[in-house]
Chains A and B, each alone.
Chain A
Amino acid sequence: MAKPERLAVIGNGMAGVACVEQVLRHQRKFQITIFGDETHVNYNRILLSSVLAGERNVDEITINDWDWYRSNGIELRAGVRVVGIDSQAKALTGDDGSVTEFDKLIIATGSSPFVPPIDGVDKDGVFTFRNLDDTRGLLERSRPGAKAVVIGGGLLGLEAARGLQVQGCDVSVVHLADWLMERQLDAAGGRYLAHKMENLGVRVLCGANTARLRGNGRVEGVELRDGRVLDADLVVVAAGIRPNAAIGKTAGLEVRRGIVVDDFLRTSHPDIFAVGECVEHRGQLFGLVAPLIEQGKVLAATLAGAETAAFEASVPAAKLKIMGVDVFSAGDVRDDQEGVECVRYEDPALGIYKKLVLRDNRLQGVVLVGDAADSRRYADWLKTGEDLSAQRRSLLFPEPLGDGGLDVAQMPNAETVCGCNGVSKGDIIEAIHAKGVNTLAQLKECTRAATGCGSCTGLCESLLKAVAPEFEEESKKVLCGCVPFSQEQLREIIRTQRLKSVQEVLDVYGNGFGCQTCKPALSYLVDVIWCGDHAEDRSARFINDRVHANIQNDGTFSVVPRMRGGVTSPAELRKIADVAEKYQVRMVKVTGSQRLDLLGVKKEDLPKIWAELGMPSGQAYTKGVRMVKTCVGTDFCRFGTQNSIDTGIELERRLENLYTPHKFKMAVVGCPRNCAEATVKDVGLIGQEGSWQVVVGGAAGKGVRKADLLITVETTPQALEAAELFFQYYRENANYLERSYDFVERLGMEKVRKETVYAPEGKQQALLERLRKSKERSYDAWLERDRPSDPTQFVQIQPLEQPMPQEATA
């Protein structure tokens, strides 16, 4: 058997390795060596910004780990830089002095950041943003309050800005052109984007020309041509990229701006090929991932001798998520030329901007900012160049439902769905068939599709809908018109964009105002997602959660102190009686929750009453942990089999003071006679001889629902832990105002069990850890009597000036 041909690849980046992956799929086998000047395995460069933003660690952006190289028999020469190519002898020289012969060679050296010749650009603290080392350097330098200036308002610059801002830096973007991303956007689109970024706290200076960088050795400031000076502890230069084409010259290849290739990625030497950002094809350079993957496929086929269709650069199109804002741009977006028509849609409140540029009723260019849901349709129109006369009335409105399936069906299996993680339609279909994937969440876990920028989420859902037998559509219902996203999407937005206050979410993703529907819901979401480490904004909470009492129909309030497990004492009862008399409460009422309610209290009296009671808040006014009802259990009852009182009190202590999607009521009973009605509670513990049944999702309200069995366990600590697991899972996954009984019906008990008590150990520990974190930051709300959230939280303001009686009557 003949020895396989030797294939050398210079460059261990996305384009080179994606091409090698394709080469491996062909019959013709090579002995492959990859040279990479970074010491890391191949990683997803697109996701560097998420490493900078702290959303992912380095391992999570690895595309191919060492095992992949090994199992495919690929030699990876990491950290070796190729310094020369001898195209006659067909050999490479490395900077380690090694000489490697090849039969075929792929040059995939990518590109380097372009650093303009600005005075002072060599100072310490000046970075580019291109690879892992840059990212690590930036992470080391960034700290809360540090002043960061990003030079360049293109895609990379904006991603760097966002990452630094999430690290707590005070960020300014200095951009030479008159608007951001001037190649992809028009002036108005650029303004919309700039506005969103400023809402996020990033300063944007357009039309700003950098004169020099100040500082003595270490950078201290950026001086602009107009004389303005920005303080800077660190500077990122993101002024564009240049192909790494110099290596091509050492081989005597034709090099213009990039290494010149033909439609089959062949250079001017018959055994040398080039792919990726280092190439120039028909005068065009490349910077986005999709055409690079396409090039890799064509080149792999060329190498295998299975010549396929020529590489044809499609209309330049970019679909991006910049600082959480969807941006899509394709074709020629200039609208100031003869013979073009422009169709526009703007919603300044929601920050949505759409523009279509038409010529002779055919789409020539498109810009979408803030909503890129229809980008595929526009990309198709651009590609086909179809006459749009018939659609002229609905160009900017979504396609009628029903066509989605057709669209996905027509997509070839090899086409990439998720560009960030390189997942094709075929991969997704395989996951659905072979691994029983039915939901978007499962698909993400299994294939990593839609876990990058998320712009392919809709497409993934369409595929699931078309192919998965039991696809469960995740709720499409938007929270409200002020912030038109589903709660599922909002959770993701808050988490990935690191939004810590209600107002930030409203400013960036909503109309900036909010209302009584979305504000309390967002308050809940930021609290639970950040485990209480969020920026609490009382103005976004319902009045009950500002004064920690339940507003009554006459504007007075009710006071329900916590009586854990429904157990009280003569001393407590005496204090309650004293307070009730002293403040002349209108009624003292035994509640349905084994506690006492003092009704008809004035707001100003609340802190005094709490102090005199000396009891903690019973949270009877909020969507939070209400109570644990108990029976007397083994302490007194002749039928009792478990210690329900102590267990109930412990359960209440573990969960009290936490917010929940809706009110959360529990009960613990010592025997199956169920005297405290545990079977109709959100969580119930039912004692029996030698074990506990933990039941969830019970209801005795508008409807009656018997709780479902979560698990039966032997010991009390196990029962408490099972309750905690369910409690935290419900907190994290239910929609705001969704009671546990609706939640378990929506998800099904099988899933609930799999995600809680039968979840892998690591997942359980993570749930309990987040619960512990939230609990650590929680406190008895009634302690605000001594530390009010604002000086007039409970105080009746006395005006500085009263009209004089004579003036008033004059």
Chain B
Amino acid sequence: MKWLRVTQVENIPVRQGRVVRFGSLELAIFNLGGAFRAVESRCPHKQGPLADGIVAGDDIICPLHNWRISLDSGFVKQPKEHAETCVKSFPCRVEQGVVMVAIPEDVLREAAA
């Protein structure tokens, strides 16, 4: 697991998401009002850009077809028949006003390849 410095806290407005790229890995990072969440940026349904969705509590609603995905677990919450589908989620923390994200080494290797 490697912690990476992403961006200043103020660059991600409260209850919004922004896309950040590490090699071929594209993350959507969300500001839930102090706490941050990071998931893979594309919806498992039709690759909708999750960072452009509406935040609903701890969930994100995909802007294309309203799939609801938990930002804590990455699992799809709606539609219910896809509850086993998920996007990868990554731990976040804030250090000295900078959002940090932890990415496993194997994911980083894949992204760099």
B-binding residues in A (CB < 8 A)? 482, 511-516, 519-520, 537-540, 542-543, 546-547, 551, 553-555, 790-792, 796-803, 805, 807-810
* Cβ contacts under 8 Å, B6 to chain A: 797, 799-801
Q: Look across to chain A and name the residue whose beta carbon is closest to the beta carbon of B101.
A: A799
| B18 x A797 contact (CB < 8 A) | yes
Bound-state CA distance A810–B61 (Å) is 36
Q: Look across to chain A and name the residue whose beta carbon is closest to the beta carbon of B46.
A: A553
* Cβ contacts under 8 Å, A512 to chain B: 57
Q: Look across to chain A and name the residue whose beta carbon is closest to the beta carbon of B103.
A: A803
Q: Look across to chain B and name the residue whose beta carbon is closest to the beta carbon of A803.
A: B108
B64 contacts the other chain (Cβ, under 8 Å)?
yes
Instruction: Taking A482-B56, A800-B5 as given, write out 6 further A-B residue pairs in contact, using a Cβ cutoff of 8 Å, ordered by the A residue number.
Output: A543-B54, A547-B52, A800-B7, A801-B5, A808-B109, A809-B112
Mask for B94-113, Cβ within 8 A of A = 1, else 0? 00001000010100110111
| A539 x B18 contact (CB < 8 A) | no
From the candidates B4, B14, B52, name the one contacting A555 in the complex (CB within 8 A): B52
Given the known interface contacts A516-B54, A800-B6, A800-B98, the answer about A792 and B63 at a Cβ–Cβ threshold of 8 Å is: no
| B54 x A551 contact (CB < 8 A) | no
Bound-state CA distance A420–B28 (Å) is 52
Q: Look across to chain A and name the residue whose beta carbon is closest to the beta carbon of B61.
A: A516
Least distance between A502 CB and chain B CB atoms (Å) = 10
Ordered nearest first, which 10 A-B pairs have the shortest CB separation? A513-B57, A539-B15, A808-B112, A515-B56, A543-B52, A800-B5, A801-B5, A555-B49, A516-B61, A808-B108
B66 contacts the other chain (Cβ, under 8 Å)?
yes
| A799 x B11 contact (CB < 8 A) | no
* Cβ contacts under 8 Å, B109 to chain A: 808-809
Least distance between B101 CB and chain A CB atoms (Å) = 9
* Cβ contacts under 8 Å, A790 to chain B: 13, 16
Given the known interface contacts A513-B56, A516-B56, A800-B98, the answer about A539 and B4 at a Cβ–Cβ threshold of 8 Å is: no
The dominant DSSP class at the B interface is mixed
Least distance between B52 CB and chain A CB atoms (Å) = 4
Bound-state CA distance A654–B98 (Å) is 45
| A808 x B23 contact (CB < 8 A) | yes
Of residues 1 to 42 in B, which have CB atoms within 8 Å of A's CB atoms?
2, 4-7, 10-16, 18-23
* Cβ contacts under 8 Å, A791 to chain B: 10-11
* Cβ contacts under 8 Å, B98 to chain A: 800
Most buried by B among A512, A555, A800: A555
What are 16 of the A-B contact pairs (CB < 8 Å)?
A: A514-B57, A516-B54, A519-B54, A520-B54, A538-B16, A543-B52, A790-B16, A791-B10, A792-B11, A792-B13, A799-B4, A799-B5, A799-B21, A802-B4, A802-B22, A808-B112
Total B residues in contact with A, Cβ cutoff 8 Å: 40
Least distance between B8 CB and chain A CB atoms (Å) = 8
Least distance between B69 CB and chain A CB atoms (Å) = 12
* Cβ contacts under 8 Å, A553 to chain B: 46, 64
Bound-state CA distance A537–B23 (Å) is 32
* Cβ contacts under 8 Å, A542 to chain B: 54, 63
| B112 x A539 contact (CB < 8 A) | no
Least distance between A805 CB and chain B CB atoms (Å) = 6
Most buried by B among A511, A807, A808: A808
| A807 x B11 contact (CB < 8 A) | no
Given the known interface contacts A513-B57, A514-B56, A539-B15, the answer about A803 and B2 at a Cβ–Cβ threshold of 8 Å is: yes
A-binding residues in B (CB < 8 A)? 2, 4-7, 10-16, 18-23, 46-49, 52-57, 61, 63-64, 66, 98, 103, 105, 108-109, 111-113
| A808 x B111 contact (CB < 8 A) | yes
* Cβ contacts under 8 Å, B46 to chain A: 553
* Cβ contacts under 8 Å, A539 to chain B: 13-16, 54-55
* Cβ contacts under 8 Å, B57 to chain A: 511-515
| A515 x B7 contact (CB < 8 A) | no
| A807 x B2 contact (CB < 8 A) | yes
Q: Look across to chain B and name the residue whose beta carbon is closest to the beta carbon of A511.
A: B57
Q: Look across to chain A and name the residue whose beta carbon is closest to the beta carbon of B42.
A: A555
| A555 x B112 contact (CB < 8 A) | no
Bound-state CA distance A805–B112 (Å) is 7
* Cβ contacts under 8 Å, A803 to chain B: 2, 4, 22-23, 103, 108, 111-112
Least distance between A787 CB and chain B CB atoms (Å) = 15
Given the known interface contacts A513-B57, A555-B52, A808-B23, the answer about A792 and B108 at a Cβ–Cβ threshold of 8 Å is: no
| B13 x A538 contact (CB < 8 A) | yes
* Cβ contacts under 8 Å, A546 to chain B: 16, 52
* Cβ contacts under 8 Å, B19 to chain A: 796-797
Bound-state CA distance A810–B46 (Å) is 33
Q: Look across to chain A and name the residue whose beta carbon is closest to the beta carbon of B110.
A: A808
Bound-state CA distance A792–B61 (Å) is 20
Bound-state CA distance A543–B54 (Å) is 8
Least distance between A137 CB and chain B CB atoms (Å) = 39
Least distance between A538 CB and chain B CB atoms (Å) = 7
* Cβ contacts under 8 Å, A810 to chain B: 105
Least distance between A602 CB and chain B CB atoms (Å) = 11
| B4 x A801 contact (CB < 8 A) | yes
* Cβ contacts under 8 Å, B14 to chain A: 539
Most buried by B among A520, A542, A797: A797
* Cβ contacts under 8 Å, B12 to chain A: 792, 797
* Cβ contacts under 8 Å, A800 to chain B: 5-7, 98
Least distance between B12 CB and chain A CB atoms (Å) = 7
Bound-state CA distance A512–B33 (Å) is 12
* Cβ contacts under 8 Å, B18 to chain A: 792, 797
Bound-state CA distance A645–B21 (Å) is 49
Bound-state CA distance A754–B14 (Å) is 44
Given the known interface contacts A791-B10, A799-B7, A803-B22, the answer about A551 and B16 at a Cβ–Cβ threshold of 8 Å is: no
